[in-house]
């Protein structure tokens, strides 16, 4: 089974760090300043990367532009590699597109582990960040983030099947038993393991809590169009996500939110009550029982949605 996202994530850990991109002649101090100031005057956004909400795709295109997955893989290899902070910044400055942005996981100093969650800071809700780090990253910028339907997001986590990022579930994945897997995820969370699997079960609402929480919610249902519109509105003419840029899950392609049982959906509503409230508040979709899938992202809807809708659970 193909796992492009997994292949890519693993590749970045080892590849490129001491590779051919190194520019020994570069002046570290000059580059550091360039990195800190590039494009700041015109651009006022900063990304809060909620796990499993297309944050990697946004980081990729903000850093390197559309069609630049190789450059992003290289950059991620640099930030996750063993170099000093200064050397990392130097290499990132060299590889970044003009007026690019270093958001979320691409910020070398956000890779420390949170004492509260045990996850890296870049996946931790802002309210738990060390204040100095939060001030340096968010400052007085507009904090934006994707907001995703909880059922649909959990289906994606199951389909991703990554150990330590959303969880892997061999016993359920074998038969594409999305309901069994999501029920087990919710039981894990409700048993008190709130920061399991790289904080991927943390309710999105926690990333909206002050201080420094998300104030600009972008509708994941219409990704990437919704994000591209926000970027255009905020002057990021060089940030436009094309379909082929999107890093998405693959595998068990025919399962979707409509396959979750009413019992499982009740657990999801219990854990993510505030997420449903935010979707209602920001996007005006207030039916907590609706089944959705992402029509603008490849493989994120069953191949025959009409047929799947006919047999879907609806648990009002
Ligand atoms: C807030 O942002 C503006 C520019 O957008 C800047 O001039 C100002 O110094 C910033 N204030 C703080 C406290 O960082
Ligand atoms: C999709 O399913 C519907 C209902 O079962 C069926 O009528 C239709 O022919 C299917 N479409 C395709 C392209 O298979």
Question: Which ligand minimizes its atom distance to the CA of 308?
Answer: 2
The closest of 1, 19, 193, 35 to 106, measured between CA atoms, is 35
Question: Which ligand minimizes its atom distance to the CA of 138?
Answer: 1
Kindly report the protein residue whose alpha carbon is nearest to atom 12 of ligand 2.
304
Assess whether the C-beta atom of 28 lies below 6 angstroms from ligand 1: no
User: Which of the four pLDDT bands, split at 50, 70 and 90, describes residue 73?
Assistant: very high
**Is the pLDDT reported for residue 1 higher than 60?**
no
User: Which of the four pLDDT bands, split at 50, 70 and 90, describes residue 28?
Assistant: very low
Q: Which has more pLDDT, 5 or 70?
A: 70
**Is the pLDDT reported for residue 148 higher than 80?**
yes
In this structure, the strands spanning 45-47 and 142-147 are: parallel
User: Which of the four pLDDT bands, split at 50, 70 and 90, describes residue 166?
Assistant: confident
**Is the pLDDT reported for residue 311 higher than 70?**
yes
Per-residue pLDDT averaged across 286-313, rounded? 97
Kindly report the protein residue whose alpha carbon is nearest to atom 2 of ligand 1.
140
The pLDDT, as a whole number, for residue 299 is 97
Q: Answer yes or no: are the C-beta atoms of 254 and 303 closer than 8 Å.
A: yes
In the reported structure, the alpha carbon of residue 154 is separated from the centroid of ligand 1 by a whole-number distance in angstroms of 38
Angle at 100 between CA 94 and CA 102, to 5 degrees: 85
Task: Name the residue ranges covered by the structural domains of the chain.
Answer: 42-311
Burial class (CB in 10 A: 0-12, 13-18, 19+), 128: middle
Residue range 228-252, pLDDT digits in tens = 999 999 999 999 999 999 999 999 9
Question: Which ligand minimizes its atom distance to the CA of 42?
Answer: 1
The pLDDT, as a whole number, for residue 98 is 95
The pLDDT, as a whole number, for residue 112 is 96
The pLDDT, as a whole number, for residue 35 is 47
Tokens of 281: 């508040």
User: Which of the four pLDDT bands, split at 50, 70 and 90, describes residue 42?
Assistant: low
Separation CA 193–CA 202 (nearest Å)? 10
Tokens of 156: 């994606």
Residue range 59-68, pLDDT digits in tens = 999 999 999 9
Kindly report the protein residue whose alpha carbon is nearest to atom 1 of ligand 1.
140
Burial class (CB in 10 A: 0-12, 13-18, 19+), 93: buried
Token pair 């519109």 is at which residue? 229
Assess whether the C-beta atom of 23 lies below 6 angstroms from ligand 2: no
Q: Answer yes or no: are the C-beta atoms of 223 and 236 closer than 8 Å.
A: no
Q: Could you tell which of 42, 44, 139, 140 is best to mutate to test the pocket of ligand 1, judged by most ligand atoms within 8 Å of the CB?
A: 140
Per-residue pLDDT averaged across 282-296, rounded? 98
**Is the pLDDT reported for residue 171 higher than 60?**
yes
**Is the pLDDT reported for residue 85 higher than 90?**
yes
| pTM for this predicted structure | 0.86
**Is the pLDDT reported for residue 77 higher than 70?**
yes
Residue range 192-214, pLDDT digits in tens = 999 999 999 999 999 999 999 99
Per-residue pLDDT averaged across 19-47, rounded? 50
Kindly report the protein residue whose alpha carbon is nearest to atom 11 of ligand 2.
304
């Amino acid at each position: 089974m193909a796992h492009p996202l997994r292949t890519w994530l693993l590749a970045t850990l080892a590849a490129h760090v001491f590779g051919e991109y190194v520019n020994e002649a570069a002046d570290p101090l000059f580059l550091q300043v360039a990195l800190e100031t590039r494009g700041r005057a015109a651009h006022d956004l900063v990304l809060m990367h909620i796990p499993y909400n297309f944050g990697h795709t946004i980081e990729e295109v903000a850093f390197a532009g559309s069609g630049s997955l190789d450059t992003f893989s290289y950059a991620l290899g640099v930030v996750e590699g063993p170099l000093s902070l200064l050397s990392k910044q130097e290499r990132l400055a060299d590889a970044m597109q003009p007026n690019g942005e270093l958001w979320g996981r691409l910020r070398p100093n956000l890779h420390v582990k949170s004492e509260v969650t045990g996850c890296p800071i870049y996946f931790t809700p802002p309210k738990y960040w060390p204040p100095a780090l939060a001030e340096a990253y968010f400052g007085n910028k507009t904090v934006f983030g994707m907001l995703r339907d909880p059922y649909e997001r959990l289906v994606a986590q199951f389909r991703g099947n990554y150990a330590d990022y959303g969880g892997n579930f061999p016993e359920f994945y074998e038969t594409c038993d999305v309901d069994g897997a999501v029920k087990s995820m919710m039981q894990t969370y409700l048993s008190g393991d709130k920061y399991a699997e790289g904080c991927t079960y943390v309710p999105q609402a926690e990333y909206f809590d002050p201080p420094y929480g998300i104030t600009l919610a972008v509708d994941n249902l219409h990704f990437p169009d919704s994000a591209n519109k926000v970027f255009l509105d905020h002057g990021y003419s060089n940030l436009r996500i094309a379909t082929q840029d999107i890093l998405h899950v693959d595998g068990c392609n025919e399962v979707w939110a409509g396959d979750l049982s009413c019992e499982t959906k009740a657990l999801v509503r219990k854990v993510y009550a505030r997420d449903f409230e935010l979707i209602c508040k920001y996007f005006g979709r207030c039916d907590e029982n609706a089944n959705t899938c992402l029509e603008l992202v490849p493989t994120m809807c069953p191949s025959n949605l009409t047929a799947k809708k006919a047999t879907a659970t609806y648990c009002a």
